[in-house]
Amino acid sequence: MTAYDYDLFVIGAGSGGVRAARVAARHGAKVAVAEEYRVGGTCVIRGCVPKKLLVYASKYAEEFEDAVGFGWTSEKVSFDWQKLIANKDEEIERLSRAYIRNLESAGAELIMGRAVLEDRHTIRLGDRRISARIILIATGATSFVPRHLPGHELAITSNEAFNLERLPSRICIVGGGYIAVEFAGIFSGLGVETILIYRGEKILRGFDEDLRDHLSTEMRKKGIEIRTKADVARIERSGDGVRVTLEDGAGFGAGQIMFATGRIPNVMGLGLEAAGVEATPHYAVKVDGYSRSSVDNIYAVGDVTNRVNLTPVAIREGQAFADTVFGGKDIRVDHANVPSAVFSQPEIGTVGLTEELARQGFRSVDIYKANFKPMQHTLSGRDERMLMKLVVDRDSDRVLGCHICGPGAGEMAQLLGIAVKMGATKADFDATMAVHPTAAEELVTMRDKWSG
């Protein structure tokens, strides 16, 4: 039997890789993890966590305004971008250290450096070669900027947006996905004039149509300019900022331009070909239901596989991989009905099928909707409305999808995810007593089918 340096070698110390390494080590495997940048991965270092902190910060301007309707005064309010970023950095460093401690306490070895596959069992780190019986690729995804675009080097991505030295007075954000709309809310909330450019007809492709329309309306109310069916033709430097020219010839100036046009699997230079690992045309590592690649001892989890690109999914995949390969269990991750949130302003929480997909897959579908002003805005005077929507299979009465846009939507989606995963029916929702006064009570009090 061949002797290897490690039972498991993990490339990438993000959420999925760290979870897999910890669980495998606790199952008795000799484990090493290589990370070329910082421990914590996209979510902790330059994704979910810092983004949510900035979302919190950007909401306070409106909350100060809303407080006046409840008897408060808001005077001499100021904002310090540098202080926010410094505090954010301190929290990210704390979380990164916690990840390192968790790896060490589990008995896994952390190696800082870039790992490259040389063959199915060999990894190169600089001048060092390491062998492993099992290899796990957990390198995540990376921001994408179209390199063919003239002036693309003048653009930033979400990575750089977290560490700007100062806020621009005006920003152009290119993209219509969740990262684009979240950062549009962040910058707008912090007082930056914000323009969102998207080549499609509506923002948030893949989400329920009513959610897409509702969020667009509410974002525009907040002063965010959304230009759809538009794309950037070129970017030029202009003074301290940039000049953006669109394909239709329209142009405008901005302090910054940020691309949020999607992320691609982070596999460039990883050595997939040398190890015989197959990838999709869009660079994702091909895997089966057990996260096994085309090479039977090499696995991949998380965004690098481009299945469901969410941190909790990567963690679940890493756990299932380790429990199956090293714990003697047989676990396949179910990627159906995964709840998710978009921390736009107002935020979105969703789980299950959109109305469009439900109508394609089921013979008859019923829709229930509520569109109302949240109670908190009855005194604030803010012109903001909330949307709730249930998609129901008429034949079985099963709730196929829940879609919410408004305060607390992400928190609601987590609990709704349990109900939808369990196969709850509309009758189950109707039989559940409402919690009053809450916005969520609308989910169990909607009785009339939508006929619009």
Per-residue pLDDT tens digits for 363-391: 999 999 999 999 989 999 899 999 999 99
Closest CA to 6 of 113, 153, 107: 107
Closest CA to 138 of 284, 304, 297: 304
Residue 452 — very low, low, confident or very high, per pLDDT cuts 50/70/90? low
**Catalytically annotated residues:** 436
Closest CA to 18 of 317, 347, 236, 234: 317
Tell me which fold the domain 152-261 belongs to.
FAD/NAD(P)-binding domain (3.50.50)
* Residue 2 in this model has a pLDDT that exceeds 80: no
| Residue 428 pLDDT | 98
Rounded distance between C-alpha atoms, residue 416 and residue 350, angstroms: 8
Residue 250, classified by CB atoms within 10 Å of its CB into exposed (0-12), middle (13-18) or buried (19+), is exposed
Going from N- to C-terminal start, the domains of the chain cover 6-143+264-325, 152-261, 340-445
* Residue 97 in this model has a pLDDT that exceeds 90: yes
Q: CA torsion, points 425, 427, 432, 437, in degrees to nearest 10?
A: 100
| Residue 1 pLDDT | 58
| CATH no. of 6-143+264-325 | 3.50.50.60
Structure tokens at 242: 């940039």
Polymer length in residues for the chain: 452
Residue 45, classified by CB atoms within 10 Å of its CB into exposed (0-12), middle (13-18) or buried (19+), is buried
Closest CA to 172 of 225, 250, 105: 225
* Average pLDDT over every residue of 99-115: 95
CATH topology match: 6-143+264-325 vs 340-445: no
* Residue 77 in this model has a pLDDT that exceeds 90: no
* Residue 430 in this model has a pLDDT that exceeds 90: yes
Closest CA to 63 of 84, 77, 52, 48: 77
Per-residue pLDDT tens digits for 14-26: 999 999 999 999 9
Rounded distance between C-alpha atoms, residue 156 and residue 145, angstroms: 9
DSSP three-state, residue 46: helix
* Residue 303 in this model has a pLDDT that exceeds 80: yes
pTM of the model: 0.95
Q: Considering the chain, what is the average pLDDT of its residues? A: 95
* Average pLDDT over every residue of 148-173: 95
Residue 74 — very low, low, confident or very high, per pLDDT cuts 50/70/90? confident
* Average pLDDT over every residue of 154-181: 96
| Residue 367 pLDDT | 98
Q: Are strands 170-174 and 193-197 parallel, antiparallel or unpaired?
A: parallel
Rounded distance between C-alpha atoms, residue 344 and residue 348, angstroms: 7
Rounded distance between C-alpha atoms, residue 244 and residue 187, angstroms: 18
* Average pLDDT over every residue of 195-215: 97
> Could you confirm whether domain 340-445 is CATH 3.30.390.30?
yes
Contact of 283 with 267, CB cutoff 8 Å: yes
* Residue 264 in this model has a pLDDT that exceeds 70: yes
What letters, b where the CB count within 10 A reaches 16 and e where it falls short, cover 417-436?
A: bebbeeebebeebeeeeeee
| Residue 76 pLDDT | 84
Per-residue pLDDT tens digits for 224-238: 999 999 999 999 999
